Amino acid sequence: MRHIISVLLENESGSLSRVAGLFSARSFNIESLSVAPSEDLSASRMTIVTSGDDAVIEQIIKQLDKLVDVIKVSEITSNEHIEREIAFVKINDKDINEKTMSEFSKNEFLKLHKTKKNEIIIECVDSPKKINDFIKSVKKIAVKIVRSGAVGINSN
């Protein structure tokens, strides 16, 4: 099962490496990893998407909690949460018709960016499932797809 783990860790050189090394040493796969400043300027929030049964996730959380740089670890997906991801899809504008462009421009989760090279970059911010659906719908005309990892927060 897919899980999102949020790790608050100190802004110290090597912190990210130690967390990634923990996953690597135990043969746990990281599906996506996102790190950004947190509300505390001395700490960063790392969002890790991984898969495993409850016992594996519990083991990961316990191991992360033992790392010196880690301030707090929480598993987000076991409670009510909001998660989002961003994807950019580059398309040659000659490959997209006016009707589709109009539909895209009306979608509140899509933003269109025109480039100087007669391309359109579509920015999509939504849940990972809806990002997957969107990418499937444009995959045949996409020149390039760039996707972030998921970020999430508990909503209760």
pLDDT in tens, 14-58: 898 999 899 999 889 999 999 999 999 999 999 999 999 999 999
**Spatial distance between the Cα atoms of 78 and 68, rounded to a whole number of angstroms:** 25
Alpha-carbon torsion angle 8, 14, 20, 23, nearest 10: -90
81-154 has which CATH code?
Answer: 3.30.70.1150
Q: What was the pLDDT predicted at 100?
A: 85
Q: What was the pLDDT predicted at 96?
A: 84
Start-end of CATH 3.30.70.1150 domains in the chain: 81-154
CA 32 to each of CA 50, 114, 115, 116, 123: distance values in angstroms, whole numbers, following the listed order: 7, 28, 28, 31, 19
Which CATH architecture fits 2-75?
2-Layer Sandwich (3.30)
Q: What number is the average pLDDT over the span 3-11?
A: 95
Q: What was the pLDDT predicted at 146?
A: 97
Q: Is the CB of residue 115 less than 8 Å from the CB of residue 107? A: no
Q: What's the whole-model pTM score?
A: 0.86
Q: Can you tell me which residue has the tokens 């899509």?
A: 110
pLDDT band at 59 (very low <50, low <70, confident <90, very high): very high
